[in-house]
Amino acid sequence: MPSAARTVLDAEVSKFDRLAAQWWDPRGPMAPLHSMNPLRTGWIVDRLARRGTGPGQPRSSNMDDPAAPLAGLSILDVGCGAGLASEAFARAGARVTGLDAAPEALAAARAHAAAGGLAIDYRAGGPEDLEGPYDAVAALEVIEHVADRPAFLRHLHRLVRPGGRVFLSTLNRTPRSFLVAKLGAEYVLRWLPRGTHDWRMFVTPAELGAELRGAGLRVADIAGMTPDPLRGGWRAGRDLSVNYLVMAERPVG
């Protein structure tokens, strides 16, 4: 296994481990993740299904099996928690490895996947503890909780195959995100436990783009995520001021 400085923050691991028993409650403290999960995983599945993920791997739009658009692809879900995104990728046909440093969250992930008949390979640790390569790597609502963003991104680059894709979702560091995602979500609406986020660790798209390039990855797509109160759930758009998604590619050669 690779030997490297840890990207995991123990305080962040403990914070989310305490929520393990409530992770799969759609009305519990992870309700915002349940609400946004169809958008963020759907956005990823759509991009992986429509385009190739490596040299010599052309993929047609729909892909041969619309019920399993990611059949044949391997995906690593870094910071998987109790498996919300991992299960969505598995249901789309991918071979999924879920990685997290929180043991209680992983136990909840394994139990929930087993109950649903899903074969997901859950592993304990950080990206520095794993070997690749994978066709795609996802780290959703994770990078704002790591000890060293550039080092974390270098590990994601190492773990994805040449021509593969890295997907991130995170929070922009703006006055609006402080009001909405920190004060509003944690203190006013109480959607999240207090202390879930440190606004100072949020990352702007410009910062993230520069750090991705420094890690050898090229930004290929970006979209904002905003709540859709009329239809429920979330929608993708151009507003990057709070939540956003990024797709980056590892160049071939």
> What is the average pLDDT across 124-146?
95
Instruction: Please report the pLDDT score of residue 10 as a whole number.
Output: 83
All residues at 6 or more sequence positions from 155 whose CB lies less than 8 Å from its CB, including other chains: 2, 4, 7, 126, 127, 128
> What is the average pLDDT across 159-187?
84
Instruction: Please report the pLDDT score of residue 102 as a whole number.
Output: 93
Stronger pLDDT, 80 or 32, i.e. the higher one: 80
Tens of pLDDT, residue by residue over 86-106, are 999 999 999 999 999 999 999
User: Whole-model pTM?
Assistant: 0.89
Token readout for 75 is: 């995906």
Q: Is 195 left (phi over 0), alpha (psi -120 to 50) or beta?
A: left
d(CA 46, CA 49): 5
> What is the average pLDDT across 10-25?
84
Tens of pLDDT, residue by residue over 106-119, are 999 999 999 999 99
- Give the residue ranges of the annotated binding site for S-adenosyl-L-methionine: 40, 79, 100, 140
Residue 239: is its pLDDT beyond 60? yes
pLDDT band at 56 (very low <50, low <70, confident <90, very high): very low
- Give the residue ranges of the annotated binding site: 40, 79, 100, 140
Secondary structure (3-state) at 72: coil
Among 238, 240, 91, residue whose Cα is nearest residue 169: 240
Q: Which domains does the chain have, with CATH numbers?
A: 10-54+66-249 (3.40.50.150)
All residues at 6 or more sequence positions from 213 whose CB lies less than 8 Å from its CB, including other chains: 219
Instruction: Please report the pLDDT score of residue 177 as a whole number.
Output: 86
In the 8-state DSSP scheme, what is residue 185?
Answer: I
d(CA 54, CA 74): 12
> Average per-residue pLDDT in the chain?
87
Among 51, 45, 36, residue whose Cα is nearest residue 220: 51
